[in-house]
């Protein structure tokens, strides 16, 4: 049985349909009109123990709402959620000990307490023994540099500092399942690299991770499975590398030759490739399907008509695919990429 399961998960929000101001509010008391917004629409999701899943989509697609439903913060309008067989909305205490949640735009630190006191309160709430607690604090300090934040109150933390402290708070009890909603927002590049390495360690240790992020560098090299949600519905659920193989097949070769050579000559040597002038008269840009032609074959073909001095290859990332999904240029289904 999967560790995290959602079946036909749906969440509908209602907001008053009324004009602004006091008069509109008084009129609403009589009319009682509401507008419904479907935030999550019939989502089926199953995550096995130890999986690292990227859950992505444009703003307002339903990512954070899904995380809140999976963690028991929100009650679903219909459908069901189970965490290791438990319903989080009904078995809140038991599930809370199994999961950790980090929301990039919200904090679980106490606003007027030093970070050390907030973490100590969480330690007592979760019943973490002293030795384990100190060991985890040491690890968080090594990776996140939280030691320098311990005496700072929550309201005085910068965004990046708060994210580091909140990440420690989400993991202080050693949860089996971790939901990370925009976990690297506000972090500088050096800390981001350490945090991403830390995430990989968590995955390798068997922690189940569901990651939502607009920074796709968080995803590549960490998640093997990609789930895309748009307007509350899942539009893709499958292997990340399979998506790249199917929908990010183009490679771009930039090659410099010792002598000037016409683009037409290079094009004739590479049937099926698109050849254009490069940055200088000695450079050419070659676009090709990596399943029809390898980079080595492309370089060899150019070498046949001119002496190659230098070259580099642009490898498309998963952001190229997701950008096309967001813009409506590409419609994915789980069957189309697998």
Least Cα distance to 212 among 44, 54, 49 occurs for 54
**Res 138 pLDDT > 80:** yes
Q: Is 142 helix (H, G, I), strand (E, B) or coil?
A: helix
Lowest mean pLDDT: which of 139-143, 147-151, 248-252, 313-317?
A: 313-317
For position 338, what pLDDT does the model report? 37
DSSP 8-state assignment for residue 77:
S
**Res 243 pLDDT > 80:** no
For position 189, what pLDDT does the model report? 83
Least Cα distance to 321 among 247, 269, 238, 217 occurs for 247
The span from the CA of 2 to the CA of 270, in Å, is 49
Q: What is the mean pLDDT of residues 87-101?
A: 93
For position 337, what pLDDT does the model report? 41
Q: How confident is the model at residue 331 (pLDDT cuts 50, 70, 90)?
A: low
pLDDT single digits (tens) 58-90: 888 899 999 999 999 999 999 999 999 999 999
pLDDT single digits (tens) 226-236: 998 888 999 88
Q: How confident is the model at residue 157 (pLDDT cuts 50, 70, 90)?
A: very high
CA 261 to chain CA mean position, Å: 44
pLDDT single digits (tens) 7-57: 999 999 988 777 787 777 777 777 778 788 999 999 999 999 999 999 988
Q: How confident is the model at residue 336 (pLDDT cuts 50, 70, 90)?
A: very low
The span from the CA of 291 to the CA of 251, in Å, is 10
Instruction: Compare 319 and 297 and report the one with higher pLDDT.
Output: 297
Going along the chain from its start, the domains and CATH numbers come out as 4-244 (3.40.50.300), 249-315 (3.30.2130.10)
3-state SS, 18-75, equals CCCHHHHHHHHHHHCCEEEEEEEEEEEEEECCCCEEEEECCCCCCHHHHHHHHHCCCC
Question: What are the DSSP E strand ranges found in the chain?
Answer: 4-16, 34-47, 52-56, 78-83, 99-103, 177-181, 208-212, 225-230, 233-239, 250-257, 274-277, 283-289, 308-314
Q: How confident is the model at residue 332 (pLDDT cuts 50, 70, 90)?
A: low
**Res 273 pLDDT > 50:** yes
Lowest mean pLDDT: which of 61-65, 292-296, 334-338?
A: 334-338
Q: How confident is the model at residue 173 (pLDDT cuts 50, 70, 90)?
A: very high
Q: What is the mean pLDDT of residues 302-330?
A: 77
The span from the CA of 206 to the CA of 47, in Å, is 13
Q: What is the mean pLDDT of residues 195-220?
A: 87
For position 216, what pLDDT does the model report? 74
Q: What is the mean pLDDT of residues 79-106?
A: 91
For position 39, what pLDDT does the model report? 93
């Amino acid at each position: 049985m999967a560790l995290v399961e959602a079946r036909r998960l749906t969440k509908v929000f209602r907001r008053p349909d009324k004009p602004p101001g006091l008069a509109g509010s008084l009129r609403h008391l009589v009319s009682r009109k509401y507008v419904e917004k479907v935030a999550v629409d019939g989502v089926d999701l199953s995550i096995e123990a130890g999986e690292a899943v990227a859950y992505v989509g444009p703003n307002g697609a339903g990512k954070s709402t899904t995380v809140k439903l999976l963690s028991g913060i929100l009650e679903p309008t219909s459908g069901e959620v189970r965490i290791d067989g438990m319903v989080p909305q009904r078995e809140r205490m038991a599930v809370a000990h199994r999961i950790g949640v980090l929301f990039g735009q919200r904090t679980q630190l106490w606003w007027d307490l030093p970070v050390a006191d907030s973490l100590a309160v969480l330690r007592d709430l979760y019943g973490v023994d002293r030795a384990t607690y100190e060991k985890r604090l040491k690890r968080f300090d090594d990776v996140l540099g939280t030691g320098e934040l311990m005496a700072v109150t929550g309201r005085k933390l910068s965004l990046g500092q708060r994210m580091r402290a909140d990440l420690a708070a989400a993991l202080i009890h050693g949860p089996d399942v971790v939901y990370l909603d925009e976990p690297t927002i506000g972090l500088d590049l050096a800390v981001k690299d350490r945090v991403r390495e830390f995430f990989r360690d968590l995955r390798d240790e068997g922690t189940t991770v569901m990651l939502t992020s607009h920074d796709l560098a968080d995803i590549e090299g960490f998640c093997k499975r990609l789930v895309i949600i748009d307007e509350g519905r899942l539009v893709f659920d499958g292997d990340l590398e399979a998506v790249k193989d199917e929908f990010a097949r183009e490679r771009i070769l930039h090659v410099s030759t010792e002598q000037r050579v016409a683009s037409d000559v290079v094009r004739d040597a590479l049937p099926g490739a698109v050849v254009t002038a490069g940055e200088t008269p000695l450079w050419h840009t070659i676009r090709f399907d990596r399943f029809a032609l390898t980079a080595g074959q492309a370089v060899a073909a150019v070498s046949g008509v001119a002496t190659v001095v230098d070259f580099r290859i642009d490898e498309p990332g998963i952001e190229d695919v997701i950008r096309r999904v967001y813009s409506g240029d590409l419609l994915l289904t789980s069957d189309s990429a697998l």
